[in-house]
Amino acid sequence: MIKLNIFQLPGYSPQTIYPFAVNALLVGSQIWNIVYGGKYSFTLRIAGTFFAMGIILVLIPLLAHIGGAAGFWLTFLILFAFGIFAGIGQSAVFMLAGALPFEFIGAVMLGQGIAGISANILRALTYIIFPVAKNENNLFIGAFVYFLIGAVYMFICGALQFVLKKNEYAVFHLWQNPGFKPKWQDLSPLIASKSSESSPISPRLSRKAKPPTTGETIKSVIGTLKENLRDTQGLIYSITFIFLITLLLFPGTTADTYFKWINNMHLANSEGWYQLACVFLFNIFDTVGRYCGGKPALDLSIRKVNWGTISRVLFIATFLLTDFECAPQWLWNTDWFKILNLFLFAFTNGYLSTLCAIKSPGTVKESRRAIVGGYIGMFISLGCLLGSLLQTGMGPILALTPKQKNS
């Protein structure tokens, strides 16, 4: 979204400001969901937030089209609201996936990568179908069509939650969780054959059934958090650090260099195509990493995952060296190295984060896997927020890059 190039505002930097706007309340809303979300059904938390985000997606290009400072800051404010809904929805989705077998949380991680690729392809098509060279208004039209299609997709995803709540396989794994209140279904054969609970189990689960809890106290939440962080053996910390490094460097830092092969094409909107190319390549390599992370043959030990996460700090040096076109020029200022660097950066983001997400619920008892799934979403957002905050602080440094000086 940040790289759609719909903001032609000198002196403003949406690529560094808007990630903060989205992530600022993302963490808080996910904490709220973990503490008090049990009062509300997963259907409300997932379908409701997806519908709300769909409406906001339609409003974003309209507000941005106002132009000037008003358009910039109105968009900034509505992204705060988007972050709230995104936080609740993401946390609820991860909680659902965490309670299911590990393949499902791997599918959620892979799905995020596929969504990124699809978004890039869709945006490229809007560039081609609505060329800016023929009409400057196509910049807005293409962006609006892009967001409108995204909104329709969000509405479809929200509606599919009503299908999921009727699925017996999902109901069987989720029936004990607070807030999950499926329709009346006779699940006694399934439960009787699988359950190890000693307490009596109702053969039917009613939408009117009272949830086991109405929300945990802050004290119990903190106690549970400490216990789960200890039991997950550093994986939750690792997934936070992975996304901190990613948001620190991408997309803001990658925006301050270029690909020579794109500049040599002399396109009317070469900067927009460069940004799109970066995001597209990132999402391709990130998705490959997520896919590999879900394959048992490419599994790593928890210790190797944690050390691999720490090693990603080296990307701070490689990205800054390319941005400042340091010597030797044949290395840091070449397209092949920039693409290779982006490949390793994106692949490790997808691969290591997927391993963290898959392994974390498996380190705790089955009754705690859903809440650990919620932690995954929350700490991903925390890493994104911290990375976005640090990225805003890099503005004065990046202003000294050759690309910024020559713009």
Q: Give me the pLDDT at residue 92, please.
A: 87
Across residues 277-288, what is the average pLDDT? 90
Q: Using an 8 Å Cβ cutoff, are 23 and 83 in contact?
A: yes
Average pLDDT of 360-377?
83
CB 241 within 8 A of CB 309: yes
- Pick from 239, 212, 227, 279: nearest CA to 19: 279
Give the confidence band of 307 by pLDDT, cuts at 50, 70, 90.
Answer: very high
- Residue 356 clears pLDDT 90, i.e. is over it: yes
pLDDT digits (tens, 9 = 90+) for 100-123: 777 888 888 888 888 888 888 888
Between 10 and 246, residue with greater pLDDT: 246
For residues 59 and 2, the answer to whether their CB atoms sit within 8 Å is: no
Residue ranges of domains in the chain: 2-406
pLDDT value for 337: 93
Secondary structure (H, E, C), 311-360: HCCHHHHHHHHHHCCCCCHHHHCCHHHHHHHHHHHHHHHHHHHHHHHHHH
**pLDDT confidence of residue 348:** 97
Q: Tens of pLDDT along 247-262?
A: 999 877 887 888 888 8
From the list 142, 133, 121, 115, the residue with the least C-alpha distance to 6 is 142
Question: 315: closest CA among 338, 290, 281, 292?
Answer: 338
The residue whose two tokens read 């997806």 is 50
Residues 325-354 have a mean pLDDT of: 92
Taken in order 146, 152, 155, 157, the sign of the CA dihedral is: negative
Its CATH architecture, for the domain 2-406, is Up-down Bundle (1.20)
Confidence of residue 319 (pLDDT cuts 50, 70, 90): very high
Q: Which of 80-94, 263-277, 375-389 has the lowest mean pLDDT?
A: 263-277
